[in-house]
Structure formats: C-alpha cells, structure tokens
Structure 1
C-alpha cells in the first residue's frame, strides 16, 4: 500500500496539534527499545516506534521489528511486525505484542526449570477524549498454528489502580530458585479491566471514583495470506459511563491470544500492523421528526443519507425532531431556520477542528414546507385587530381608516408586507409575502361611520342601560366587554360596570377584582380598553380613542372650563409590596378612585398618557375621589395647552377604581351626574382701566357716574370661560352698555348666557374756581360744608350741582 508523501508530512504535523489521536502510522523515526523490569534494566533490545513499546525481552529476544511497506523509490512507509518466539534457554514460548503502555515479564529459574512466569502491560498514555472505535491495517500469518488467534485490546479509564508486590523481572538461579524483585505496579491491564484470574502479586487498591470507561477485545483468527486488510473495532462503553471523564488510554496488539494460556502460544505466528487510528463518529444513529400536528414522520433514515423532506409545515409548538447521536463524544447542534424552512442538525465528532480536521462533521437537513408568513400584530389607529387565538384574516370596522397609522409585525423577519387602500370600497388590504411560500392576505373593511361632535358626554348621567340580563350601559361608554388588544379574548374575566341607584336616578358602580394572576381595576371609558398584557402595569394596557370604531370614540366640539361629578368611594385592599419594592422605599399606593377627561387632537390618544403624544393634547381635567360614604360632588378644572385650537378634536373620558394599575382589589367607585361646565360670566369689568366698584361675576346690573364724554367706550371686560364668546352693545341715547357672555356650548344650550348692563351717569366738571367766583357762588363740600375761598381740587356742590374742580 502506498502513502502520499505530502499526506504523511501533513499527518505528522497534525498529530502534534491533535490530542485526540495516537501516533499510529509508525513512519517517524523509531527509537531504541529498553525493556522495563523491576530491577531497572538499561540494556537495549531492538527498536520501537515513537509512543509505543515493544514487548522485547533482554534475555529472551526480540518479538517486534520494523518492516517496510513502501516500494523502492517511494517515501518511507513503515509498519510494526510482532511474532511469537521460542526461548530455548528457558524452554518457553514468548508472546509477541506491542503497546502504548509498558510491557513487563517475570519468571524465576533454577537451572533450566522455570516457575512463576507472568507478564503483561501496565500504564498507558494520558488521554482525555472518547473515541468510538479503533481502525488499523494488518497482515496475519498463522502458518505455525492456524488455531491461534491474534488480539487487539484497548481501554479507556480514569483514576488509578495500584497492585502491591508484583514480581517484575527474570530472576536466574543455577542451583536454587531465583527470587524476582517485587514492585507496586500502577494501572496494570488486568486490574483496570477487572480480569483477576491467575493474578500474581499482592493487594489491589484504587483511587476514589476510578472507573473503567470503555474497552474492546477483538480476535483476529484467519491468515490474510500476505494481503493487507483494514478493520474497525468499536469501543464498548460501560453503561452509565458515556459522559464520564477519561484520563488514560492503552492499546495492545498481540500476535497471540493476549489473555490466553501460555500453552496456546504458537512460535512463528505473526501480526503486522499499520495506520492505527482512533475513530470518532460524527453521525446520527436515529432521526425521528414529527409534523406540525405532532404526529411521527417516517423518513426511511440511514446514517449516511443527509437530506430529507417532510410534507408538512414546521410548528414551533407541535413539531419535534428526535435524534440519537452515534458518537459518544460527538456534539450536536440543531435548529429550525424559518428563512429556509429547514431543520438543520450538525453533528461534530469529538476530533473536529475547523482548521486541522474540518471533515469530522455531518449535516442532516430536513426540509419542511415553508409556512405562509402571517402577521402577529395588525393595528390601525391604535386598534389591534389580531388577538390571541384569532386566526381570522378578514375584519370589519365601523369607523374610519387611517392609512398613515397602520402598524404590523410579521411572523418572519424575511417577509415583505404591502398595504393598499381602496377608497371606493373603503377596504384596507395587507399582503404578507415571502420567497418560497404562499402569501397571506388580510383585509379590513371600514364602514366609515362617525358621530357628530358633542358638547356633553352622552349618557353621562348613567340613566340608559340595556334591558337584557347583562345590563350594560346603553350608549356613550365602554368597558372590558368591547376591549381591543392582543389579550382581548380574556376580557370576560375582568370586572364589568354595574347598574345602581345613583345620586339621581340610575348610577354606575366600578369594582376592582382579584383575577389570581393580577388585580384588575374597574374601568369605564368613552374610548376602548386595550388589553395588551396580563400585567396591569404594562404599557400595552390603556384606554384609547378608537377612531376605527364609531362606538369607541367621542368627537368633541366644546372647550369646557370644568366638569363636575357626583361620586362615593369604598376602598378595598392594597396589593402588598414585594421585598424589593420595600427595599427601594416604595410606599403603598393611596386607595382612591379617579375620573379624568382628556381633550385631544385627531389621534389615538392614550390614558395613561404617553410623553410622545403630548403634542396631541388639547386640555385635561381630573378629580381624585377619596373614601366617602355619601354622594359628594367633585369638580375638576381643565388646563389648556397654549396652542390648542384643532379643527378636529375628541374627548377621552376614563373612570377607574385606582389611578395606579393593579394596585388594589375589592374597591368600589360609584358615579353619577357627570356634567361638563362652560362658563358664561365675566372675570372682571372695568371702566377707564379700573374695576367697577362692587363688581361680582354674579351681579349683572351696574350704574356708574363719570364726567367722561366717552365713558361707554371705555368700558372693558375679561371673560371667565376659555371658550366663551362676548358681545358688547352701546346705547348712547340712554347711556347704557350691554355686555352679553355666551358659554361655549350656547349653540346647543341657549340658556347658557349672561347679560351685564352698565348705565353711565355723566357729571359736569370745571377746571377751577377763583376766589371771587367762590364768593359769588354757593360752593359746598360733599359733606355739606361751604367753601368761602378758592376750593382745592375735588368734587363739590356748586350752585346745587355736583362739579369736579381740577
């Protein structure tokens, strides 16, 4: 057999970096053999390949030799030949073997008589891997005894076995028996392998945990008739030791039955060995996938077939792929690639190295049908149409479509999503596509309905309820039963509003509830509730103005100044703080209800509010409702943004048993008579820049005196209502100014106006009165005292008329 010289050099270099192998090509330089004995022999006897030891015996002869396999002119290619020999001096047959360990032999002689002969191997090579088999080339010549077998022995172990008092040399006696020298022998083959028959020596001990991990013993029985053969023998791992650590390895090639009786040795029989390699499997021994329903699929598996097809999609929840690796030390990486629809299993032998041994791996591919990509989320203007357990692809919505506010998440990162809107049909189409599979098409048809903008919240006195057993608020309000969001299908578990006797007529009661997984607040809104997470405090749980649903939004026309509501609140039990929250110094939330009204622009506004939506806010007002047993009126004033004058606006009203989500259970919030207030009064009334004496917003009629000829024109005012409108009318004939203040809702509430009248009485004025004039006129102070000289500036009665002296 020829060996490529370049490959030889490569293999030698690789061995220096590949600790998973042993030096088994025997082509590097051989070294002198110095047989071991218990007396410290130093005499050389023949040669041996590096890393191996011949069982040559100084006094008996050489059982191993270096032989050439290469033809003349080819690179050197050596093999090891071992043969059984006859020792004529001791009249004994000597077995031929070589090993990674240390061979030894012992005998005691008296003249030509021999007793207590024994031998074998101890020790081995440090090693930490888990080979699956050993392979080698061999020639077998059993011409001297066809019934004799040659043997291959190999074993892996950890820990140490020690046997005391093992004789380890040939002791020669002429007239009396020689006495062999005994030693403590470490890791003797029979000790490690547990073969204790005819075991010479003393007590055997082992370190804690010492374990035989795997072994093999293989007979070679027939002659090869001068031909080279190759064999691969598997290691047999002790049950339960497949994952055990390995510290040592030993390999023995013997020309005879290594553990047989001495009498079975046939001198002259030989075994020649080359290309000894440890084999590491990188294959599967079984492969059992299921389909997308979890049913088994028969692949007609073979370890050397690497590509398979399953006529099913791969479902992350139901599909499984079972397999068994063939290599004890092999590693397996397995994963499904949604991009290709392939389940890929990569098996790497323990001897795999990306640079020196990249071939030591196998890749098995199961091609599943690629599932059509889907959407895991589809939202329009904040309304989530895809929910848990809902596989629908066609939806309807009563409101409007906001094409610029469509968002989605595809099931595959490689999918492409296209959206189109047909204005005539009011249909939004969203198509999800991916190469290699069919597309999924979603449609949402919008009816385009809308409500007229209002100044008051419909049914804000909570009088109208349905007649059925559910007794739901009939209009204007929503709760969990109309919730949107990913977890909307679980809304039935949440606490619903209840009809009660209110402050006047019917009222509504909200309660909080322990749902085991969390506390759920009572919740009522003019928008819709989005249920995005089972954790109440998660940001995906909120109330919002749902413009896609005519019943989930409230178009709003007004600019109210305040609102009032009658309420009462019975607190329940606060959720206990966690240890971590206590360490952070967090305090238990207050138990209180809340009503909050938010006016906003044309957007899917949230409550709780988001900082990123601040620009869409117009105004807001809220009241907190502490524990109170009686119906109590609460008033909240609106705060407006400076530039909040949108053409289109909505009102989002929300009531809850606690402004902190999931903070408490068994709270009870009762509400009635929620009313928006539009001021129609003046904040101030002035003449010539000064507030009219006695002004009060509730006082509507005033009479003032003024010497100004344009006094009516100098009447000014400041309105109280942010959206109020004021008209001023001047009647010069009757010296009357009329100021009418219209509340912002006057168009629908004609009674909401206030009329102020200011009647001006003019008084004359003179610049001065001389002393002579004063003497000729009757000048009195307002207090009735006559002035005889020149009067100072002021107001006087001059000749019976009130005049002003300047």
Structure 2
C-alpha cells in the first residue's frame, strides 16, 4: 500500500510540474500527419505536426497550392526540433511566398481569386487552457535568411488571457470566389488588441475577454549555432489566466503576405515557461549592493550589520508570484534573503534561490572605566559661539592616592569634527572646602590621528558627586611651542558617583569625631575587619598612616 501511495505522490507532483509548462515543449512526442483547418472542413493532410502544436501548413484550393512549412529536424541536445521554412507555392500570377510559423493554437489562411489573388489574410486562433502566471518564455533557436528578403525579422509572440473574443464572418479558406465564413473565437489580433486594418472578417464581440500578459519580440540576427532567447511577459492585470498561446514565426508575423521572404528559416526547440525566483536588485541603507547580479548569490559589505528595515530588494519578473523573505543572522553578521516561486522553476531548474550578505563584525563597545559624570560641556573656539553639549560625559578613574585620570572621550569641535580622546593623568589633593582638587597636563598630545598637536591642562574639583572641570586645549598649528596657536577652552559641570574621600585633608582638633579607615587607594574599609597592612586613619579632619599587624 505504501508503494502505491508513493507512486501516486510522484505522479501528482509530475502532473503539477507539467501543468506549469507547455505540452511537448521539446518536440520529442509523436509527430503525425497534419490536416490544415479550413472553414470548409478540409480532410486532406499536408506535412506533419508535433504533438500538441500546429505548423502553418496550407492545403491550398482543394490541394492546389498546398505547401509544407515545417518539419522535424535534429534538436538542441535531443533528437527532435521544429524547422520552419518559408516556401513558394502556386504558379504564374498565382505564385506566392507562404509564412512559416508554429503555434499552440490553430493556423488558418484565406484568399480569393483565380487569376488575380485578393483578400489575403491568416494567422492563429485559440490556444490551450492554462492557469499559471509565468514570468518569461525561453527557447533555443537557429536562424538563417534566404536571398529574397534577408532583412525580414523573425517573430516570437506569447499571450495569456481569460474570457473570449468572437469575430463574425471571418473567411477561413482559399477560394476562387467567396470563401466560406465562420465566427472565429480568440483570433490572435483580437486577444492582443492588435490593429485590424486590412484584415478580413466582421465585427468583434468581447465576451468578458481580458488580456492578462503578453509580449511581441523580433529576432534580426542569424544564428548558425543553437542560441537561447528569454523574453519577459508584460503583465497588464493581476488576474489568473484561463488560456495561453505561443507563436514562433520564421518571418514577420503581422507584416502581411507581401513581407514573406522565400527560404527564410527558423529552427526551434526546448520552449519553456520561466518562473523567476531570483532578485532583480538589492540595496543596503538605500545604496545598491556593489556588483549585484541576479546570478551571484553572496556579497561582502564593508559595514556593520544594519536593522532588517535597511535591506531592500526587488524580485525579478512581473508576475508577482515569487515571494522573498529576510532572515537576520546577528550571531554571524549575515542577512539571508530567500526567494521562492511556488508556481514553477527558474531558468536553472530551481524554484528557490538564496542570497547572503556578509557584514563586518561590530567593533566591541568601548569600556569606559572610572566614575561617570554626566552634565554640560561647553567648547569655546576663538571668534565663534560656544558649542554646548547637555549630555556630555566625563570619567574620573582613581588610582593609588593621589593618582587619578580624567577622561573625555570622542572630543569634537562643534559636534561636527571628532578629533579624539582627551585623557590626562591628574594629581588629587584635598581642598579647604572639603572637595578633591585634581590637576594635570599633557605636553604635545596627538589628536585627530596625529594631525593635531596640542598642549592640554586640566583643573577639576569634585565634592559629593558634583564635578567641575576646566580643560585648556592649546592647538599648536605648526606642531611646535614656538609657532601659532589656537586656544580651545572647555568647561564641564556635571554630577555622578562621588569619588573616594580625600585623604589629604586639613588637620583640626576633633577628638569626638568618629574614626574611619581607608586603604591606600582611598577606598573606605570596615574597621572591624582589617587585614594586615598599611591604612589611613581619619578622625574628623585629622589623618594618619597606621600599620595593622595581627
């Protein structure tokens, strides 16, 4: 039973896949005798047709003027292809060149007269049932021209529609007088909305007909070797088709009988409908990915990984059947775009394609050490208004008393030109008001990748988490102390975590004050749990060094 289910599943998949494609598109199916259609119900045969397709063989008038316009030949990596060749038929004043074309519909032709031919017309009507939305049509071909009309182009026409059109009183045979007429359904020109000037037949009635997609293309270059052509459909609506037709002509299909060139040939094979599952464009942060090609599936971007919203793309094709999604792999700094088309296969036989964008790993965040103070930073340049940053940050990192370091990261001039980090080692001392005073300087500090040389002096005060600092930056424009200078005055006023208490205060009599102990880094320690070592003992404003031995 399991085997039966497996076979049924395989068969169902095969049927679904074949439904997305044109029947017998490689022409390896049966070839059989052709009975050209006429409005007089012709029963004579002329030439052969590949299964499911129709070549424009003509039967003439009761067999007179009959012509074979196509035949089986060696294929593109296969045993069968269709050779279309335009020939001449008739004799004397009745001699005429006949167009050679291949279609999924039904071919027809008409004219009248015995010694003088008039009312010439012909083409294709109908097609096959079809309910998919392909993006393109591809096929392999060879092409050559005779000497009669070597500049005549070859034509490739495809269209999908729903509903129908009916043209009344269309003559459908070659006759010496008045050919019998029929009401023709879905004539090519009617479906395509092509000009009816100079054509035969009566009024056209639209029976809910809608042209959904089409293209009309011309080939002008000869090809002695097999060449592949791909043409995109131009979709006009979002409707689902009901029918499709394809016409490939050795000559200029809509140009009329006078344009037909004798011995002009076109060999056709491997006609496929294409369902794109690739991208047509790809952008990051509004800029196109450099070197993007729909057939290249991995890219390296010299930037850190953005948000998903910064990645934009357009799917190839006009059918609207492909779907794309983005997966952000933040762990590996990758964005993966997957394009899938459930309706069918792309040119390479796949229905899914994946594009990967590799980004640079983000720089690890800078670890700012020390006590953080947030407040107002003012930068005053000569002859300009001060630049004020209300959310500036300054860090004070304390070391063993009295050492500390003041750090102003990402120092910039007016919020536009970032010139580097101002980092100055300072010396702490106790001030008379109980605050901690810090002073320090750097001679010939290099800023802006070494392009700016400056002398920097710092004077700062901290008390109870309030920090004020004056940073004098003297830009040595010639790189030496003897040249011209540009003074840049920087002030900061902010709050943050209080620094360890000063251990260099002013002594005063205060025998009733509580006793506090600090280590040599200025950090307060528990007096009841002191290890062996040297400590600072503070009582009121009196400080002394003590040695603990247990």
Instruction: Give me the TM-score of the superposition, normalised by structure 1.
Output: 0.40
Structure 1 residues 393 and 344, CA gap change in structure 2 (3 angstroms): farther
Distance 1:211 1:338 in 2: 47
User: Are 1:181 and 2:173 counterparts?
Assistant: no
Q: Residues of 2 paired with 1:393 and 1:51: CA distance?
A: 79
Larger Rg, first or second structure (1 or 2): 1
Unaligned runs of 5+ in 2: 1-9, 373-550
In the TM superposition, 1:636-651 aligns within 5 A as none
For 1:121 and 1:101, locate their aligned partners in 2 and report how far apart those are by CA, in whole Å. Answer: 6
Aligned match of 2:42:
41
Q: Deviations over 1:282-319 (max 9, x none)?
A: 221111122xxxx7575442222212234555465x74
Answer yes or no: is the 8 Å Cα contact 1:157–1:214 preserved in 2. Answer: yes
- 2:477 is aligned to none
Total equivalences in the alignment: 349
Question: Aligned pair 1:304/2:295, yes or no?
Answer: yes
Kindly indicate whether the alpha-carbon contact (under 8 Å) linking 2:154 and 2:218 is maintained by their aligned counterparts in 1.
yes
Shift of residue 77 of structure 1? 0.5
Tell which has more relative contact order, 1 or 2 (C-alpha 8 A, sep 6+): 2
Aligned partners of 1:63 and 1:95 also within 8 Å: no
Equivalent residue number for residue 173 of structure 2: 169
Q: CA offsets, 1:148-202, max 9 Å, x none?
A: 2222222222221111111112223xxxxx2212111111111111122223211
Choose 274-283 or 30-39, whichever is displaced more: 274-283
> Which residues of 2 match residues 482-493 of structure 1 at below 5 A?
none
1:124 to 2:119 alignment: no
For the aligned residue pairs, the C-alpha RMSD in angstroms reads 3.5
Query: Which of 236, 242, 247 is equivalent to 2:242?
Result: 247
Show the 5 A alignment for 1:525-544. none
Aligned to 2:378: none
Q: Is the 8 A contact 1:66 1:78 kept in 2?
A: no
From 65, 71, 77, give the equivalent of 2:70. Answer: 65
Contact kept, 8 Å, 2:121 with 2:256, in 1: the verdict is no
**Does the alignment pair 1:92 with 2:96?**
yes
Out of 254, 262, 268, the position equivalent to 1:259 is 254
Residue 393 of structure 1 and its aligned partner are, at CA, apart by 12
2:160 is equivalent to residue 156 of structure 1: yes
Q: 1:282 is matched with which residue? A: 277
- Residues 133 and 268 of structure 1: CA distance in aligned 2, closer, same or farther (over 3 Å): same
Deviation at 1:370, TM superposition (A): 6.3
Q: CA distance change for structure 1 residues 282 and 274 in 2, over 3 Å: closer, same or farther?
A: same
Question: Corresponding residue for 2:4?
Answer: none
Q: What is the CA–CA distance in structure 2 between the aligned matches of 1:19 and 1:220, rounded to whole Å?
A: 28
Provide the rounded CA distance (Å) in 2 between the counterparts of 1:130 and 1:248: 11
Instruction: State the SS of the aligned residue for 2:191.
Output: helix
- Kindly state the Cα deviation for residue 372 of structure 1 after the two structures are TM-superposed: 9.9
* Aligned equivalent of 1:141: 144
Counterparts of residues 453-532 of structure 1 (less than 5 Å): none
User: For 2:199, what is the secondary structure of its paired residue?
Assistant: coil
1:333 to 306, 325, 332: 325
CA distance, structure 2, for counterparts of residue 231 and residue 44 of structure 1? 33
Per-residue deviation at 1:322? 0.8
Deviations 1:756-784 (A, max 9, x none): xxxxxxxxxxxxxxxxxxxxxxxxxxxxx
Task: Quote how far apart the aligned CAs of 1:323 are.
Answer: 0.4
Give the structure with the larger strand fraction.
2
In structure 2, relative to structure 1, the CA distance for the partners of 1:87 and 1:300 (3 Å cut) is: closer
Secondary structure of the residue that 2:117 maps to in structure 1? strand
Seen in structure 2, the aligned counterparts of structure 1 residues 97 and 371 have a Cα distance that, compared at 3 Å, is same
CA contact (8 A) 1:118 1:200 kept: yes
State the SS of the aligned residue for 2:19. Answer: coil
Superposition map of 1:190-201 within 5 A = 190-195=189-194, 196-201=196-201
